[in-house]
């Protein structure tokens, strides 16, 4: 009976942690919860997990300080886990015109859009096609991958009656770490997010795309701009909201870009841009001045890029489900959850638990956690007990909460870098399924801003920037096209 009551309390607390925007510190509150009663080995272990996944205010202050020193090093060309890549562009003024194809390659989907800009910030999307990038292309040769991309472009041109004669400018959103060499060229530094197509790292991805287009017989497309998804997101959002100076992706991967004064980019050797600002693609997924748990290390060992993208692997959708699976599997092995012999092999398969299920668990507000019960039965556990389902939801919330608090720490670091006293309003354009779909992800981020900045936290506004990356890239392509005349 006592155990049921405690688990019920745990359930209520976990629901509250996610629903509440106020400053709830999981480590403190649950520590009290546990220490107020005689602990058993199981409970001690759960407490240990809770501590492992907590991100305390002190941790956040340390992350901010480390972000600043890594940013400084990255901007001056010294070795740093933040690459701070100049994008060769700034936000646009809003007078851009023309018709563009936007090609957006970021995760498992490839999107192609036809974008019309009217010169007064009006944007019309006259066609959107989505294509799935199958595993065989992600893991095959670069030539096969780019041939497939060219095939998708060809299909898009046909289905949207786009001319094969007249010159068409294409904006290429390529959401990987690229050493940008001009606005329309850049070499892939390293793949991430499950991609490992051979022969692409170190090569100019625009040249690879051009070659594939020629092989396909498409001669009239000119790649006008090569853009990271964060940069596209920032440019698109700042079209609507002038105060937007930070673009963030919280999806399959995570990254951010912001507007930097050209004088601060010590490694910049090119001409000063007209606006005297340039957007910097931080590649913050690579940030590595942070400690990880045993489960993170185990997950990392099973990725195609072990030891890389450490921060991204604690935050983004590609990895959260796998971390959750590893914790669950451990709890099952220790006989702490699903104490049923049918559960022994549950969650044994690597990468089988998708991060979406964490959103599903968080959204299950029913008293018997019915949606979780159905999910578990689909996984092969025909019968599950309520206590285990409560614990399932709670553990998931700890991992998601860590992700949101880390994202908020990183956003805070960049804003403080731009505006140390937080004197002006900063709109943060954010896109990505983790941010969009995990219930109250935004609320958890805001509670961190509140913890750090009190009243001044109202100067940080997170604003959803749906599918901005392709549109932003088209806007940049328009700037380039107008400069070229
Ligand atoms: C990965 C890529 C980065 C991209 C991010 C979000 O971290 O390296 O370029 O912006 O994913 O898609």
Residue 224 lies in a domain: yes
Most informative mutation of 195, 312, 407, 469 for ligand 1 (most atoms within 8 A of CB)? 312
* Residue whose CA lies nearest to ligand 1 atom number 2: 176
Question: Which atom number of ligand 1 is nearest to the Cα of residue 286?
Answer: 7
Residue 427 lies in a domain: no
Question: Which atom number of ligand 1 is nearest to the Cα of residue 178?
Answer: 9
Ligand 1 centre to CA of 467 (Å) is: 15
For the entire predicted model, the pTM comes to 0.92
Ligand 1 centre to CA of 253 (Å) is: 5
pLDDT mean across residues, the chain: 91
Residue 126 lies in a domain: yes
* Residue whose CA lies nearest to ligand 1 atom number 11: 253
Question: Which atom number of ligand 1 is nearest to the Cα of residue 284?
Answer: 7
Residue 207 lies in a domain: yes
Residue 423 lies in a domain: no
Residue (of 96, 88, 90, 172) closest to 475 by Cα position:
96
Whichever domain contains 206, its CATH number is 3.30.420.40
Residue 432 lies in a domain: no
On whether the CB atoms of residues 231 and 214 are closer than 8 A, the answer is no
Ligand 1 centre to CA of 342 (Å) is: 39
Ligand 1 centre to CA of 470 (Å) is: 14
CA terminus-to-terminus distance, the chain: 77
pLDDT digits 0-9 by tens, 435-451: 999 999 999 999 999 99
Distance CA 394, CA 389 (A): 8
pLDDT digits 0-9 by tens, 387-415: 999 999 999 999 999 999 999 999 999 99
Most informative mutation of 107, 227, 258, 285 for ligand 1 (most atoms within 8 A of CB)? 285
Residue 407 lies in a domain: no
Ligand 1 centre to CA of 203 (Å) is: 17
Distance CA 396, CA 4 (A): 20
Alpha-carbon torsion (96, 97, 102, 107), positive or negative: positive
DSSP string, 297-352: HHHHHTSSSTTSSHHHHHHSHHHHHHHHHHHHHHHHHTTSS--SGGGTTTT-STT-
Q: What is the pLDDT along the chain (485 residues), one digit of tens a residue?
A: 445 545 544 544 444 443 333 333 333 333 333 334 345 888 899 999 999 999 999 999 999 999 999 999 999 999 999 999 999 999 999 999 999 999 999 888 899 999 999 999 999 999 999 999 999 999 999 999 999 999 999 999 999 999 999 999 999 999 999 999 999 999 999 999 999 999 999 999 999 999 999 999 999 999 999 999 999 999 999 999 999 999 999 999 999 999 999 999 999 998 878 889 999 999 999 999 999 999 999 999 999 999 999 999 999 999 999 999 999 999 999 999 998 888 888 899 999 999 999 999 999 999 999 999 999 999 999 999 999 999 999 999 999 999 999 999 999 999 999 999 999 999 999 999 999 999 999 999 999 999 999 999 999 999 999 989 999 999 999 999 888 76
| Domain ranges, residue 142 | 87-230+467-484
* Residue whose CA lies nearest to ligand 1 atom number 9: 176
Distance CA 121, CA 475 (A): 10
**Beta bridge mates, 117:** 98, 123
Ligand 1 centre to CA of 320 (Å) is: 16
pLDDT digits 0-9 by tens, 23-52: 333 333 333 333 343 458 888 999 999 999
Number of Cβ atoms within 10 Å of the Cβ of 339: 12
Protein residues with CB under 6 Å of any ligand 1 atom: 106, 175-177, 192-193, 228-230, 249, 251, 253-255, 283, 285, 312
Residue 441 lies in a domain: no
Structural domain count, the chain:
1
* Residue whose CA lies nearest to ligand 1 atom number 8: 176
DSSP string, 159-220: HTT--SSS-EEEEEEE-SEEEEEETTEEEEEE--TT---BT-TTSBHHHHHHHHHHHTT--S
So which residues are the catalytic ones? 111, 175, 229
Distance CA 53, CA 205 (A): 38
């Amino acid at each position: 009976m006592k155990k049921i009551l405690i688990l019920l309390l745990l359930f209520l607390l976990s629901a509250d942690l996610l629903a509440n925007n106020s400053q709830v510190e999981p480590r403190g509150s649950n520590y009290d919860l546990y220490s107020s009663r005689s602990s058993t080995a199981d409970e001690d272990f759960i407490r240990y997990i809770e501590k492992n996944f907590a991100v305390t205010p002190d941790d956040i202050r340390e992350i901010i300080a480390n972000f600043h020193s890594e940013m400084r090093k990255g901007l001056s060309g010294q070795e740093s886990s933040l690459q701070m890549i100049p994008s060769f562009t700034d936000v646009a003024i809003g007078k851009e015109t023309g018709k563009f194809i936007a090609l957006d390659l970021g995760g498992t989907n490839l999107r192609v859009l036809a974008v019309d800009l009217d010169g007064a910030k009006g944007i019309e999307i006259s066609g959107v096609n989505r294509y799935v990038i199958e595993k065989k292309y992600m893991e095959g040769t670069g030539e096969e991958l780019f041939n497939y991309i060219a095939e998708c472009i060809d299909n898009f041109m046909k289905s949207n009656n786009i001319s094969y004669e007249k010159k068409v400018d294409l904006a290429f959103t390529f959401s990987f770490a690229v050493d940008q060499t001009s606005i329309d060229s850049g070499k892939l530094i390293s793949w991430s997010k499950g991609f490992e197509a051979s022969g692409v790292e170190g090569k100019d991805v625009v040249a690879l795309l051009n070659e594939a287009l020629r092989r396909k017989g498409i001669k009239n497309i000119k790649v006008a701009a090569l853009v990271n998804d964060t940069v596209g997101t920032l440019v698109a959002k700042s079209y609507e909201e002038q105060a937007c100076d930070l673009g963030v992706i919280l999806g399959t991967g995570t990254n951010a870009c912001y507007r930097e004064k050209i004088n601060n980019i010590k490694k910049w050797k090119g001409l000063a841009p007209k606006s005297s600002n340039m957007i910097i693609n931080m590649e913050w997924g690579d940030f590595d001045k942070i400690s990880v748990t045993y489960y993170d290390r185990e997950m990392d060992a099973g990725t195609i890029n072990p030891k890389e993208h450490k921060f991204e692997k604690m935050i983004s959708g590609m990895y959260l489900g796998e971390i959750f699976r590893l914790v669950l599997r451990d709890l099952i092995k220790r006989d702490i959850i699903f104490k049923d012999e049918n559960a022994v092999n549950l969650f044994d398969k690597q990468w089988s638990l998708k991060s979406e299920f964490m959103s599903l668990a968080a959204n299950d507000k029913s008293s018997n956690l019915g949606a979780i019960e159905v999910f578990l039965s689909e996984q092969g556990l025909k019968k599950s007990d309520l206590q285990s389902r409560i614990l399932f939801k709670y553990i998931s919330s700890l991992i998601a909460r860590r992700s949101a608090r880390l994202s908020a720490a990183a956003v805070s670091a960049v804003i403080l870098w731009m505006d140390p006293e937080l004197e002006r309003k900063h709109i943060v354009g954010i896109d990505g399924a983790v941010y969009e779909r995990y219930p109250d992800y935004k609320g958890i981020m805001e509670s961190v801003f509140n913890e750090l900045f009190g009243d001044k936290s109202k100067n940080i506004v997170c604003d959803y920037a749906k599918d901005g990356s392709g549109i932003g890239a088209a806007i940049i392509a328009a700037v380039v096209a107008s400069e070229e005349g």
